[in-house]
Each structure stands twice: as structure tokens, then as C-alpha cells.
Amino acid sequence: QFRIVAKDGSVKWIQETVHAITYKGKRAALGNSMDITAKREETEKMLEFQALQNALLDALPIAVIGMQARRIVLANHAVEDVFGWKPEELIGRGTRVLYRSEEDHAKIAKHVYGALRRQRTHRMEFPCRRKGGKNIVCLVSVARVGEDLQDRRIIATYSDITEHKRT
């Protein structure tokens, strides 16, 4: 891949492949050049958006967790403040680690998925558990990703409101 300057002065990205061949009994080169400017610009915009998204998630003071089929696929740095887990410790694990019991886990999932089938977002309070086993109360806002729950993808924010509830 390389850049060229076109006749009109614009910069274009070109992808070129060249192969050694035999043509009419002599060695030759067969080349193919393709303008990949639009694809390259699209990739750069996607990377910029991804960097913005990551910075936004890291700047939020509330825990943000992305889930698919009750497995954690995304977590920001604030999960450590709320739950005591580092993001890399949570990603790939089941959501059960966030709750006090199997019963709570099932009950909350039934409530959340039921609400998100009817509406795009839902907000509630429920008991959670920190990494060391301490019980906390969280204010949770959830939203489905996409128009339906076919892939069971949701994003949730968690705020520890335990002290507020005690007061």
C-alpha cells in the first residue's frame, strides 16, 4: 500500500500486487493496482471513533459493563471502584460474579430481559456483590444493543448507592 498524487492534485491510497509470470516465453511482471482511498479513510474514521469511545468510557465515574448472553464483553475502569474488579478480570466472565447468589442472578436477569423486551432502556436498584464478597446496592441503568434482544446484548451502568441508602 502506498500513496500517490493524482492528476487533479488529490492524494490517493493504492494497493498494488505484483507477480512474476512468463509471457510469450519471457519473464514478465503482472501487476494490479486498486484505489483503496475510501476504505482507508473509513478505517481511519472507525479507529478515531473507537479511540473517542474508549476515552469516554474511561472518563466516566460510573461502572459501564457490556454483556452478551450474560457474559461480560466490555468493562471500563470504574468497575474497580464499584466492584473491586479490574476490567481485564471481568471481561470474558459470566455476570454471576456481580451478584450475591444464583437466585439473585436469575431473578435480576428475568426482570432486566423482561423490561428490555418492552422498552429500549430500564433503570432500577438491586443488590450486588463486590469482589471480596461485600454486599452493595447499585443503581443500574440498562439498555439493549440493537432493536431487539435476539443476541441478548445489553449495556449497563452501575453506581454504588449503598451509603446513600443507609443515610
Question: pLDDT tens digits, residue range 75-128?
Answer: 999 999 999 999 999 999 999 999 999 999 999 999 999 999 999 999 999 999
CA distance 125 to 161: 9
CA distance 73 to 93: 8
Quickly tell me which residue has 438491586 as its cell.
126
According to the model, what pLDDT value does residue 148 have?
77
What is the model's pTM? 0.73
CA distance 21 to 25: 10
Average pLDDT on 12-36 reads 94
CA distance 97 to 133: 10
According to the model, what pLDDT value does residue 57 have?
85
CA distance 159 to 75: 14
User: pLDDT tens, 114-155?
Assistant: 999 999 999 999 999 999 999 999 999 999 998 877 778 999
CA 53 to chain CA centroid, nearest Å: 9
According to the model, what pLDDT value does residue 146 have?
85
* pLDDT for residue 161 is more than 90: yes
Among candidates 90, 69, 61, which has minimal Cα distance to 152? 69
